[in-house]
Amino acid sequence: MESGAYKLTFQKAKAHFLTITRHRRAVRRHCFRCGLIWQGLVHDLSKYSPSEFLVGAKYYQGNRSPNDAERRDTGASTSWMHHKGRNKHHYEYWIDYCFGETQPRYVSVPMPNRYIIEMLCDRVAACETYNKGKFDRSQPLAYFERFVPDKLMHPETARKLHKLLVLYAEKGDEAFDIIRKEIHKRKPGL
């Protein structure tokens, strides 16, 4: 689609607001069950900032992230770049710059467990939000396995997230209680 084909309208802004609010509510519910009260309260607040909200509303589609449409339209997602740099539950936040022997390079850093757990809650809530009545608890795991970020996500982070996604696929919402009781409370954990 050509740039300019997307327009910011009141209807799209309202629908985008309701979608991100519904998503945040679901993440909050899941985080609370896992024992991550503060993270549940502040999850994705940057989505309401002008640099994320206005772009998200302009590219709102209703059934997927507006970042994809922005990328197709402009070649990059400024909204996503803003978002991932401010939200520690995204593995992209944990990529650092390192001076190698010959060339500087980017390296992934292991995520703390609490952010891996929040990432699980985020992925489950995203599938619930975008799949509405067709949600199935195997979807977050299937999405991860289809788009394994093998070169960017730290291998230990990927292993831990996969373990949690399998637990959720097998146990459903009971997985959040298991995480709170058996995983989150352990200091090294997972």
First vs last C-alpha separation in the chain: 44
**What tens digit of pLDDT does each residue of 94-120 get?**
999 888 777 888 899 999 999 999 999
User: Looking at beta carbons, which pairs linking 128-134 to residues 24 or more positions away fall under 8 Å?
Assistant: 128/26, 129/19, 129/22, 129/23, 129/26, 130/63, 130/64
106 DSSP β-pair partners:
97
pTM: 0.92
Of the candidates 59, 73, 71, 76, the one whose C-alpha atom is nearest the C-alpha of residue 19 is 59
Domain ranges of the chain: 10-184
Tokens of 167: 């637990």
**What tens digit of pLDDT does each residue of 19-41 get?**
999 999 999 999 999 999 999 99
Of the candidates 14, 22, 13, the one whose C-alpha atom is nearest the C-alpha of residue 43 is 22
